[in-house]
Amino acid sequence: MNVEILAVTGIGEVVAGDDLAALIAAAGPALRDNDCVVVTQKVVSKAENRVAAIGGDGPEAIRERKRELIEGESARVLRRRGDLVIAETRHGFVCANAGVDLSNVAAGCAALLPVDSDRSARRIRDGLRALTGVEVAVVVSDTFGRPWRRGLTDVALGCAGIGAVVDLRGTADAGGRELTATEVAVADEIAAAAELVMGKARGVPAAVVRGLDEGWFRAGSVAAEIVRSPAEDLFR
Amino acid sequence: MNVEILAVTGIGEVVAGDDLAALIAAAGPALRDNDCVVVTQKVVSKAENRVAAIGGDGPEAIRERKRELIEGESARVLRRRGDLVIAETRHGFVCANAGVDLSNVAAGCAALLPVDSDRSARRIRDGLRALTGVEVAVVVSDTFGRPWRRGLTDVALGCAGIGAVVDLRGTADAGGRELTATEVAVADEIAAAAELVMGKARGVPAAVVRGLDEGWFRAGSVAAEIVRSPAEDLFR
């Protein structure tokens, strides 16, 4: 019944072209079937070279270049307040600055979200299988704000080998009555759980979540299961 | 560095007046200092008798009574679609049906959110200290939807003995640059992590999260730290 969250330490600085599966397999812990490996967007973006130069010509030039990057990453802007932009990305994620982020990247650079985080997750999963022989799931996580509640939480940008949303619709509850709406976004909950050990700025860009329900392991996709279309959204 | 999430099994059906601290202490696992005990809103509401009769006179009468309960729990309604109401509760939570929930309660009854979930958490924490001599934190969790992303996740309604939001603002990142916005809603992440073991309708209304950062343990409050006022919210 229990779940463990194990930090993957010692990966070090990730650069463009790095093989994340190899880095994770080498850093340990030893992986087992049905582990779920959570990898932060930041190192996925670095490994995939989704990093843009933002210049070093003073703060105003940097702000202007950042604005341009955000515009390029946005499908549409939902809200602006001062320098903060809440935008819908081309993937359908709604987040601050369309995911353009200057923290934890080299000076003069900004990280952008991966082009296809489900694909990034599949690639890491395939790499880990080839290297270690075990079948793990992979979640690519990022840190998002949300409306109505203060504070950031980690959510899933992509996944592979695990359902993003587990449908408990129609499962009888403990009293034998039917549950009508319990589609649980387990990929987001796994990302949040991993953040409890990864923290920020402590050089832990990955974690292993062990002990998840075996029924959740299947081909999965954040894009297909979690991203809500504007048409069905009550808040766009 | 690692975190464990332990299911609290064997609590059984909770009724009005039950002492949740005593039930949790008896069900185990043996608690340690700096554990965080997560308890679902449903059993807190039952123990605190926040359950309303909803009648058994046919589906239309039940729907009408449910509508009345939702209205009574709402400070204002943000959206309606069919039978679904997204409302701001008197506590400032934004959720479906203002927290009025017919699942996992006795037939003819609906559970309402606790009057003050921070206080509920403090009471359980005080009870566990008195019974076991250990200093634990407590989070009261519930299952909410959110805009933009499909699927439900567990979040914190109340907490005690742990910060709801941990402020990493200004902490240097791994590259020595300043992080500007990393206030992490750890109470919500703890609730989400606990849900990975509690699941739905499996009779596990509590979990123990062990191994959290010791720096997070302090008096905490979801109402004061996480609930965002409409004035500072971009989406109300």
Mean pLDDT, chain A, integer: 91
Kindly tell me the burial class for residue B184, based on how many C-beta atoms sit within 10 Å of its own C-beta (0-12, 13-18, 19 or more).
Answer: buried
Contact A201 B209 (CB under 8 A): no
Contact A147 B228 (CB under 8 A): yes
Distance CA B175, CA A211 (A): 34
Spatial CB neighbours of B120, under 8 Å, sequence gap ≥ 6: B44, B48, B114, B140, B158
How many structural domains compose chain B?
2
Same domain, A85 and A34: no
Same domain, B42 and B68: no
**B149 chain-A contacts, CB cut-off 8 A:** 155, 185, 188, 226-228
Residue A146 near residue A128, CB atoms below 8 Å = no
The CATH number linked to B67 is 3.90.1660.10
**A175 chain-B contacts, CB cut-off 8 A:** 104-107
What is the percentage of chain A residues whose pLDDT exceeds 70? 92
The helix or strand, by DSSP H or E, that contains position A96, with its residue range, turns out to be strand A94-96
Of B103, B104, B151, the CB nearest to A183: B151
Reported ipTM: 0.94
Tell me the pLDDT tens digit for each residue of B66-125: 999 999 999 999 999 888 899 999 999 999 999 999 887 888 899 999 999 999 999 999
Contact B152 A186 (CB under 8 A): no
Contact B165 A151 (CB under 8 A): yes
Residue B65: domain span: 51-113
* Residue B69 included in any domain: yes
Residue B28 pLDDT class (50, 70, 90 cuts) = confident
Same domain, A192 and A80: no
* Residue B235 included in any domain: no
- Nearest CA of chain B to the CA of A207: how many Å? 9
Contact B3 A199 (CB under 8 A): no
Contact B79 A234 (CB under 8 A): yes
Same domain, B166 and B139: yes
* Residue B233 included in any domain: no
Q: Pick from B186, B153, B39, B155: which is nearest to B93 by CA?
A: B155
Chosen domain end from A64, A91, A113? A113
**B102 chain-A contacts, CB cut-off 8 A:** 177
- Nearest CA of chain A to the CA of B126: how many Å? 25
What does DSSP assign to residue B18?
Answer: -
Establish, for the pair of chains A and B, how many residue pairs have beta carbons separated by less than 8 Å: 242
Residue B162 has pLDDT above 60, yes or no: yes
Residue B180's CB is within 10 A of a number of other CB atoms, namely 11
Return the structure tokens found at A217.
Answer: 């392991």
User: In the beta sheet, which residues pair with residue B6?
Assistant: B208
**A152 chain-B contacts, CB cut-off 8 A:** 181-185
Same domain, B125 and B22: yes
Tell me the pLDDT tens digit for each residue of B40-58: 999 999 999 999 998 767 8
Q: Where are the alpha helices (DSSP H) in chain A?
A: 20-27, 41-47, 59-73, 117-132, 186-198, 222-225
Of A5, A96, A182, the CB nearest to B2: A5
Residue B112's CB is within 10 A of a number of other CB atoms, namely 22
* Residue B55 included in any domain: yes
The CATH number linked to A146 is 3.30.1330.100
Q: What is the dihedral of CA A58, A63, A65, A67, to 10 degrees?
A: 180
SS3 B106: coil
Same domain, A156 and A181: yes
User: In the beta sheet, which residues pair with residue A209?
Assistant: A5, A36
Contact B104 A79 (CB under 8 A): no
Contact A147 B213 (CB under 8 A): no
* Residue B223 included in any domain: yes
Tell me the pLDDT tens digit for each residue of A137-176: 999 999 999 999 999 999 999 999 999 999 865 555 555 6
- Chain A: residue whose CA lies nearest to B185: A151
Same domain, A101 and A197: no
Same domain, B20 and B76: no
What does DSSP assign to residue B82?
Answer: T
Q: Where are the alpha helices (DSSP H) in chain B?
A: 20-27, 41-47, 59-73, 117-132, 186-198, 222-225
Same domain, A102 and A146: no
**A174 chain-B contacts, CB cut-off 8 A:** 13, 104, 201-203
**B172 chain-A contacts, CB cut-off 8 A:** 201
**B109 chain-A contacts, CB cut-off 8 A:** none
- Nearest CA of chain A to the CA of B129: how many Å? 24
- Chain A: residue whose CA lies nearest to B179: A103
Contact B228 A148 (CB under 8 A): yes
Torsion sign (Cα): B37, B164, A197, B94? positive
Q: Which carries the bigger pLDDT value, residue B198 or residue A201?
A: B198
Tell me the pLDDT tens digit for each residue of B116-135: 999 999 999 999 999 999 99
Same domain, B205 and B138: yes
Tell me the pLDDT tens digit for each residue of A167-211: 865 555 555 665 555 899 999 999 999 999 987 456 799 999 999
Tell me the pLDDT tens digit for each residue of A84-142: 899 999 999 999 999 999 887 888 899 999 999 999 999 999 999 999 999 999 999 99
Contact B196 A186 (CB under 8 A): yes
Contact A105 B175 (CB under 8 A): yes
Same domain, A63 and A28: no
The structure tokens 């935008």 sit at A87
Residue B147 near residue A235, CB atoms below 8 Å = yes
**A214 chain-B contacts, CB cut-off 8 A:** none
Chosen domain end from A82, A113, A144? A113
Contact B182 A103 (CB under 8 A): yes
Chosen domain end from B113, B141, B158? B113
Same domain, A128 and A68: no
**B197 chain-A contacts, CB cut-off 8 A:** 1-3, 211
**B9 chain-A contacts, CB cut-off 8 A:** 1
- Chain B: residue whose CA lies nearest to A225: B150
